[in-house]
Amino acid sequence: MNTRISEKTSVISWQSGPSTAPLPPLAAGLPVLGNVIELADDVLRFLTKQYYKLGPIFRIRALNETYTVIAGRDANLFFAREGSKHFRSKEFWQGMDDELGAEVSLISSDGELHTRLRLLQKRGFGKAVIETQLPTVAELATKAVTQWPVGESRPVLSFIQDLVTEQLGAIIIGQGPGEYVADIRTFIRTALLVRVTRQRPGFLLYTPAYRRAKARSLELGRKIVEKHRRNPPIDRPTNLVDDALAAVAQGDLIKDTDLISLALGPYIAGLDTASNTIAFLLYALYKHPEVRKLVQAEAEALFADGIPTPEQLNRADVLHRTVLETLRRYPIAPAVQRTVTQPFEFAGYRVDAGQRIFIGTTVAHFLPNLHPDPYRFDIDRYLPPRNEHRTPGAFAPFSLGAHTCLGAGLAEIQIMLTVAALIHAGQFEIDPPDYQLKIRAVPNPAPNNNFRIRRVG
């Protein structure tokens, strides 16, 4: 099948099946290292630069591996429509399953198995889970501020990570990581860097610090599962772990050994995603006082009569547009990686089966024909008639296709409510006032630890 796309951008064709077209152009790189340094430094900047130089498909090298990259709006449309036919997640994510002792997981599965696992976890990660527990989310944020002495300055990211994992744990599986939070952080970060993105050497998995963090994290996972076994959902709502236990009892989808990974899932899913986005959003507020003023006013209105209702949050237009613009301008998942299962031709170049591929899903966020003046933080992009996020393929912070973030709806509400609760409960100043954003690139982009705020009221 030959598909042509003609909306708004150039016309790009793709075609399934083996092809005799040439291989995509190879990005210039260093001898031996290839593009390792640029990839480790800032994947998004590197992919966007190559897109402008080489077009929507090219190859990059990292040491002795070559990857194909497709990027831009048409790549996003191809990925969303044809991804399941051509790509597999397994190889990229499987190392994480191994570290967690699981045989299968949602993110590393494909096809029919993936569809069934997604259905199993849909309720547990659903929007209703947060909408019915807004007081828990808001109160944890408010408590974190009340425990922060006035005058003290703190690194934003780790403060937010602690809060976000506590919130997600409380609402999705009935408990936050509590005293295990540092272990979860070390375990997840190291496992992702070594086993998934492969940006750090394997020996890190043998260090005492990692082994201890892993053992403690798995211990927490076991405790969560046992607690659910002992207390079935008779006088409380059924949650993600209950659904998983029921599936184990049925016996044909997941096994006992997959439960720990499932129970730790909410922490893993939020640690480097919702947290990083909140940290970027706070940075944007302090750099754009005009937006901050509007968001502050909306936060005060939201909390004027106590904790906001889901309907009130739905109407919080400025906050919502600020979240959308943060997700566009500071995407925390700039690209996704897959293995090619079926060959195809894209924009006149061939991609063979077996290749590792990057889909640069958020390169489209920085194309001026889709988002004029793309590096400017501008929350009015989402107002009619601009509606820049509505052009298919132009906005993909949560990825696209079969593995699109299952927690996207929940995450948006969590981010909005947490930011509103924090700035309602306390007054903060960026520290130092002339701080310039430096992005920590791995495992996902986030403001680095020099981004601090001081509580001043």
Q: Name the minimum Å distance from CB 432 to ligand HEM.
A: 27
* Closer residue to ligand HEM (CB): 266 or 308: 266
Residues 234-263, interacting with ligand HEM (CB under 6 A): none
Query: 106 or 302: whose CB is closer to ligand HEM?
Result: 106
Nearer Cβ to ligand HEM (29/409)? 409
Is the link from the previous residue into 392 a cis peptide, with omega within 30 of 0? no
Residue choice 39, 107, 192, 351 for contact with ligand HEM (CB under 6 A) = 107
Residue nearest to ligand HEM (CB): 407
Which residue lies nearer to ligand HEM by CB, 125 or 148? 125
- Identify the burial level of 421 via C-beta atoms within 10 angstroms of its C-beta, where 0-12 means exposed, 13-18 middle and 19 or more buried: buried
Considering only the stretches 134-142, 245-253, 264-272, 299-307, report the one whose residues sit in contact with ligand HEM under the rule CB under 6 A: 264-272
The Cα–Cα gap between 128 and 133 comes to 8
Task: Give the N- to C-terminal CA distance of the chain in Å, as an integer.
Answer: 62
The CB-of-403 to ligand HEM minimum distance in angstroms stands at 4
Distance CA 256, CA 244 (A): 9
Nearer to ligand HEM, 269 or 453 (CB): 269
Phi, psi angle pair for 88, to nearest 5°: -130, 145
Q: How many residues bind ligand HEM (CB under 6 A)?
A: 23
Q: Which of residues 180-199 bind ligand HEM (CB under 6 A)?
A: none
- Give the position of tokens 């901050």: 292
Q: Give min distance, CB of 66 to ligand HEM, in A.
A: 20
- Which uninterrupted H or E stretch holds 299? helix 289-302
CA distances from 326 to 189, 292, 332, 378 (A): 23, 13, 10, 9
Whole-angstrom distance, CA of residue 86 vs CA of residue 78: 10
Angle between helices 289-302 and 408-425 (to 10 degrees): 90
Least spacing, CB of residue 337 vs ligand HEM, in Å: 7
Q: Which stretch binds ligand HEM (CB under 6 A): 143-151, 249-257, 391-399, 427-435?
A: 391-399
Residue 399 C-beta: closest distance to ligand HEM, Å? 4
118 binds ligand HEM (CB under 6 A): yes
Nearer to ligand HEM, 54 or 416 (CB): 416
Binding region for ligand HEM (CB under 6 A) out of 177-185, 237-245, 271-279, 366-374 = 271-279
Q: What are phi and psi of 227, to 5 degrees?
A: -60, -40
Q: Which of residues 402-421 bind ligand HEM (CB under 6 A)?
A: 403, 405-407, 410-411
Q: Tell which positions 71-100 bind ligand HEM, by CB under 6 A.
A: none
Contact between residue 59 and residue 26 where contact means Cβ atoms under 8 Å apart: yes
- State which of residues 50, 239, 273, 322 lies at the interface with ligand HEM (CB under 6 A): 273
Cβ proximity to ligand HEM, 321 vs 455, nearer residue = 321
The size of the chain, in residues, is 457
CA angle 443–448–453, rounded 5-degree value: 135
Radius of gyration of the chain (CA): 22
Instruction: Write out the two tokens for 346.
Output: 């894209």
Q: Does 397 bind ligand HEM (CB under 6 A)?
A: yes
The residue behind tokens 């989402």 is 382
DSSP reduced 3-state for 155: strand
What's the rounded Cα separation, in Å, for the pair 307 and 327? 25
- Order of strands, edge to edge, in the sheet holding 452-455? 153-155, 452-455, 428-431
| Contacts for 378 with CB less than 8 Å, ≥ 6 apart | 325
Between 69 and 106, CB nearer to ligand HEM: 106
Query: Which residues are 338's β-sheet partners?
Result: 357
Nearer to ligand HEM, 18 or 178 (CB): 178
- Kindly tell me which of 106 and 284 has the beta carbon lying closer to ligand HEM: 106
268 binds ligand HEM (CB under 6 A): no
Nearest distance from residue 105's CB to ligand HEM, in Å?
Answer: 8
168 binds ligand HEM (CB under 6 A): yes
Residue 24 or 331: the one with the smaller Cβ distance to ligand HEM is: 331
Among positions 283-342, residues that touch ligand HEM (CB under 6 A) are: 332-333, 336
Contact residue for ligand HEM among 80, 399, 421, 441 (CB under 6 A): 399
Q: How far is CA 136 from CA 129, 217, 235, 281, 296, in A?
A: 11, 24, 18, 22, 21
Beta bridge partners of 447: 439
Q: Does position 277 bind ligand HEM by CB under 6 A? A: yes
Return residues touching ligand HEM (CB under 6 A): 106-107, 118, 125, 168, 266, 269-270, 273-274, 277, 332-333, 336, 397-399, 403, 405-407, 410-411
